[in-house]
Amino acid sequence: MDARRIVLGVTGGVAAYKAAELARLLVKAGIDTQVVCTEAARHFVGPATFQALTGHPVFSDLWDERVDSGMAHIDLGRGADLIVVAPASADFLAKLVQGVAADLLSTLCLARDCPLLVAPAMNRQMWEHPATQRNVALLRQDGVELLGPDQGEQACGEIGFGRMLEPEALLEAIEARFQPKRLAGLKVLVTAGPTFEAIDAVRGITNASSGRMGYAVARAALEAGAEVTLVTGPTCLTPPRAARVIPVTRCQDMLAAVESVVADVDIFIGVAAVADYYVLNPSEQKIKKDAHILTLELAPNPDILASVSSRPSPPFCVGFAAESENIEEYAELKRRRKHLPLIVANDVREAVGAEAVQLVLLDEAGRHVLPLADKRTQARRLIAHIAALYQATRP
Ligand code: CTP
């Protein structure tokens, strides 16, 4: 993401406070961020906040003398890969439609030579008003990408459409613009997280998988242009906004969810840490303790990945092998046993809960090391490898 540059336009609305968080996330993601505020935005969040977060002075004025050429409306937009206006008020959307160059931000949008993304934020009646809806339709026709709005509780106390998307969701959409569309037009199914096999009404058998790797893989596939279904065991994570999400608990439920969509997918990536056993006859009530030894009877769970890869015409199947010893040897054995074109080997002692991981990809051509990096980066590298192998197998 380095050397990417965006102009973050902030217009006047309560959601401007969320733009500060967006600026922080963008900078953290390695995106050089230049903030341009409207006068109204300055009533909500001061320029010092954005300046501290981005490391750049904030501009608002067409006649700002800090821009050497005296052409702030041209210079600030040049070299930008994107202009993102978040929040975009109803008034600002109307200005964009009309091509009004009333202040620095609207003039920058008019004089741009890069894509424009807007994240509307306004009261629900303003959003639903025919004038705003007409403006939105015209903006889409003009090639402007609309991010949201979401629905929910608003600052005014009303409930409906008009909430700005959360900063994380905006970052997701912005980052996706920078990724090559290697999986455009393809359908990808990802399993993620642990499963939970009930012992009684409140207890169960599970494992330490956080789901972060699986969610990162789903997100990387979305960024690469795929349509993604994410079948997920219980996790604390927010799934990628653009994915179709099927939450499940037990291995059996995960298998059923996978079977309900797998016939229609091109690529299946099994990242879930599926419990190998389930409890026979779990108690419907909470088991009361007594002084006796409690014996649980466990029966083997079905292998979801193996059942997908043994279908008559399987999708391109990718497995994960979490091992604690003889990592590559065991992973390669698993790859062959489950008839997979690709398996991702990792050291489970390092991977669970860790920010950064090293992965080794094993395929017909041999081994490919993905050196230590955060899970988001590894997921993008993995998707690039999958896309190359997938394309090579197609006529
Ligand atoms: N997997 C699956 N269904 C299962 C068990 C595993 O789909 N019931 C998938 C996982 O999502 C992963 C791969 O199979 O992609 C490897 O899982 P792992 O548990 O490491 O391997 P196992 O085949 O269960 O072998 P073992 O537990 O003996 O290491």
Arithmetic mean of pLDDT, 279-296: 90
Q: What is the CATH number of the domain that holds 350?
A: 3.40.50.10300
In this structure, the residues whose C-beta lies within 6 A of any atom of ligand 1 are 191, 251, 270, 272, 274, 276, 301, 303-305, 319-322, 334
For residue 115, CA distances in Å to 119, 146, 177, 269 come to: 14, 11, 9, 32
Number of structural domains the chain divides into: 2
- 244-268 pLDDT, tens digit per residue, is 999 999 999 999 999 999 999 999 9
Whether residue 53 is contained in a domain is answered as: yes
Contact indicator for 213, 351 with CB cutoff of 8 Å:
yes
163 CB contacts (<8 Å, ≥6 apart)? 15, 121, 148, 149, 150, 151, 152, 153, 154
Whether residue 305 is contained in a domain is answered as: yes
Half-sphere exposure (Cβ direction) of 147: Cα atoms closer than 13 Å: 26
Pocket test for ligand 1, best of 274, 277, 386 (most atoms within 8 A of CB): 274
CA distance linking residue 326 with residue 131, whole number of Å: 65
Inform me whether the pLDDT recorded for 240 exceeds 50.
yes
Contact indicator for 222, 176 with CB cutoff of 8 Å:
yes
Is residue 381 domain-shared with residue 268, that is, in the same domain?
A: yes
Which of residues 150, 177, 204 is at a domain's end?
177
Is residue 253 domain-shared with residue 323, that is, in the same domain?
A: yes
Is residue 52 domain-shared with residue 110, that is, in the same domain?
A: yes
> CA nearest 89: which of 66, 56, 133, 120?
120
Report how far Cα 281 is from the mean position of its chain's Cα atoms.
38
Is residue 231 domain-shared with residue 128, that is, in the same domain?
A: no
Is residue 197 domain-shared with residue 102, that is, in the same domain?
A: no
- 315-371 pLDDT, tens digit per residue, is 999 999 999 999 999 999 999 999 999 999 999 888 777 789 999 999 999 999 999
Is residue 248 domain-shared with residue 359, that is, in the same domain?
A: yes
What spacing in Å lies between the alpha carbon of 334 and ligand 1's midpoint? 8
Contact indicator for 276, 213 with CB cutoff of 8 Å:
no
Is residue 112 domain-shared with residue 37, that is, in the same domain?
A: yes
What spacing in Å lies between the alpha carbon of 183 and ligand 1's midpoint? 25
Is residue 120 domain-shared with residue 142, that is, in the same domain?
A: yes
> CA nearest 132: which of 81, 95, 185?
95
Backbone φ and ψ for 367, nearest 5 degrees, come out as -110, 145
Q: What percent of the chain has pLDDT over 90?
A: 87
What spacing in Å lies between the alpha carbon of 38 and ligand 1's midpoint? 54
Give the model's pLDDT for residue 68.
66
Give the model's pLDDT for residue 157.
82
Q: What is the CATH number of the domain that holds 106?
A: 3.40.50.1950
Give the model's pLDDT for residue 368.
97
Is residue 334 domain-shared with residue 236, that is, in the same domain?
A: yes
Which of residues 159, 177, 195 is at a domain's end?
177
Contact indicator for 2, 8 with CB cutoff of 8 Å:
no
Whether residue 281 is contained in a domain is answered as: yes
- 33-68 pLDDT, tens digit per residue, is 999 999 999 999 999 999 999 999 999 988 877 766
Q: Give the structural domain span for 155.
A: 4-177
* Of the candidate ranges 67-81, 111-125, 183-197, 240-254, the one whose mean pLDDT is the lowest: 67-81
Inform me whether the pLDDT recorded for 69 exceeds 70.
no
Whether residue 196 is contained in a domain is answered as: yes
Pocket test for ligand 1, best of 230, 267, 305 (most atoms within 8 A of CB): 305
E strand or H helix at 356, and its extent? Answer: strand 356-363
What spacing in Å lies between the alpha carbon of 303 and ligand 1's midpoint? 7
Arithmetic mean of pLDDT, 162-173: 95
Give the model's pLDDT for residue 175.
94
Per the prediction, the chain carries an average pLDDT of 94
Give the model's pLDDT for residue 2.
52
Whether residue 110 is contained in a domain is answered as: yes
CA distance linking residue 51 with residue 74, whole number of Å: 20
Tabulate helix, strand, coil % of the chain (nearest 5).
Answer: 35, 25, 40
Atom of ligand 1 nearest to the CA of 322: 20
Which of residues 177, 204, 233 is at a domain's end?
177
Contact indicator for 184, 221 with CB cutoff of 8 Å:
no
* Of the candidate ranges 63-77, 133-147, 309-323, 340-354, the one whose mean pLDDT is the lowest: 63-77
Is residue 164 domain-shared with residue 215, that is, in the same domain?
A: no
Whether residue 182 is contained in a domain is answered as: no
Is residue 120 domain-shared with residue 82, that is, in the same domain?
A: yes
- Catalytic (active-site) positions: 156
Query: What is the value of pTM for the model shown?
Result: 0.91
Whether residue 293 is contained in a domain is answered as: yes
Is residue 203 domain-shared with residue 332, that is, in the same domain?
A: yes
Give the model's pLDDT for residue 1.
45
Whether residue 312 is contained in a domain is answered as: yes
